[in-house]
Amino acid sequence: MNSIPWTVTAVEPRGGTVVRLTFADDTVADFDLAYLLNRPDTVFAAFTADMIPAAQLVDGTVAWETPSGTVDLAADALYDHTRGVCPGGTCEGWEPSMTRLVHE
């Protein structure tokens, strides 16, 4: 096992805006990433629902290749989301109901 539990080891599109992530400690969760859409003035400004299934594993997290370069999510924050926690108390659109823990 990787010594950093929040390292993402697998990314699987699940349909629509849902992506399943597996972490180094074998935690698995489905994330509805719809909250990334329609966010002007962020790296996600050009994201569409059709882009989310193109998610891939890059350097231990989930990422997308865009014309502007690679856009990724903070693996540690995603891992915290599996526990219903929003790091720093504000996740700009993320709600606990958007993450479903499959197993720990």
**For residue range 21-63, what is the model confidence (pLDDT) as tens digits?**
999 999 999 999 999 998 888 888 888 899 999 999 999 999 9
Q: Examine residue 96 and state whether it is found in any structural domain, yes or no.
A: yes
Q: How many domains does the chain have?
A: 1
pLDDT value, residue 2: 52
Contact partners, residue 62, CB within 8 Å, separation at least 6: 8, 11, 19, 21, 55, 56, 72, 73, 75, 78
Q: Examine residue 26 and state whether it is found in any structural domain, yes or no.
A: yes
**Residue whose entry in the numeric block shows the structure tokens 């989930």:** 62
Cα–Cα distance, 27 to 97 (Å, whole number) = 17
Cα–Cα distance, 71 to 16 (Å, whole number) = 19
Cα–Cα distance, 57 to 72 (Å, whole number) = 9
| Global pTM value | 0.91
Q: Examine residue 1 and state whether it is found in any structural domain, yes or no.
A: no
Q: Examine residue 3 and state whether it is found in any structural domain, yes or no.
A: no
Q: Examine residue 39 and state whether it is found in any structural domain, yes or no.
A: yes
